Amino acid sequence: MSSQVSQLSPIGRFEKILLATDGSEFSAGAARAAIHLARACGGKLTAMSMVLGNPEYDTLAPKLVAKALAEARMTLEQVKVEAKAAGIECATQLRQGEDPHKEIVAASEELQADVVVMGRRGRRGLARLMVGDATAKVVGNAHCSVLVVPRDADLGTARILLATDGSRYADAAAVTASGLARHLGLPVSVISVKVPSHSDSRRAEAETIVSRVVEFLGKEGIAVDGRTGEGEVADVVAAAARATGADIIVISSYGRTGWGRALLGSNGERIIGKAECAVLVAKGA
């Protein structure tokens, strides 16, 4: 696929960025990443926060709801200030609802976002947003890519690690990684994992898979290298990210049928949980 074609692909586009934040320390990395991504990609940034509630609760505890809304507005204003300091205009959305992940997914649909940026987990309490379960559900149900950022992570200053299994979903992730690498000016390391429980023939495919993706990225003008690893997928990928100095891992999602209601037990969840850096779950194909 030529660079001209991939630029037209919605898979590799970062024009509309939605930051989901609860204002806690756990969202700090996500806010930094969203602003950096918007600046690097020339994208439009929207920050959203929400307050949990329903008509019955709103009636019974109006003062608590008002306090939570006021805190959420302050959170969004702070993001606007940080974005402006970076030369980025930031729109805001404040939503109320009973389920955080549904509000985030709804906002991403309304905005036709290319990527949702969110923390790996959030604070507890009335205004909690993006706890592990909510993050998993956003990854599983959003139609766009999702960038999950640990609290202390920085984004886009070193290297991208692309994990691939050779599937068409992983090929979509390669297109996403290519677009991200061009925007951020970063090299890419490609890895495919030989899982001990797989058949000999499947394990033998790893080198071919890596070579094919390396060739694609090289033709896209990306500085790229490839490797294979052996072991459990999440352990190998997390270790490779540390070894290469990667500050973004790109993985594929099988979409709504594969990730579905939650990530429990999946390689994706384990990678997100073990990685010290941001993880971009690429959607497409």
Q: Residue 125, exposed/middle/buried by CB under 10 A (0-12, 13-18, 19+)?
A: exposed
Nearest Cα to Cα of residue 48 among 142, 133, 140: 142
Give the mean pLDDT of 126-148: 74
Superfamily of domain 160-282: HUPs (3.40.50.620)
Q: Which CATH number fits domain 3-149: 3.40.50.620, 3.30.420.40, 1.25.40.10, 1.10.357.10?
A: 3.40.50.620
Please compute Rg for the chain using Cα positions. 19
Domain(s) of CATH 3.40.50.620: residues in the chain:
3-149, 160-282
DSSP lists the bridge partners of residue 20 as: 48, 118
pLDDT of residue 133: 73
Q: What is the mean pLDDT of residues 6-21?
A: 76
pLDDT in tens, 172-226: 999 999 999 999 999 999 999 999 888 888 889 999 999 999 999 999 999 999 9
pLDDT in tens, 234-247: 999 999 999 999 99
Q: What's the residue count for the chain?
A: 285
pLDDT (mean) for 106-118: 96
Give me the pLDDT at residue 118, please: 94
Task: Please report, rounded to a whole number, the percentage of residues in the chain having pLDDT higher than 70.
Answer: 84
Section 55-63 average pLDDT: 71
3-state secondary structure of 69: helix
Largest CA distance in the chain: 63
Query: Rounded CA gap, 260 and 213, in Å?
Result: 27
Among the residue ranges 76-80, 114-118, 119-123, the one predicted with the least confidence is: 119-123
Q: Which residue type does 240 have?
A: A
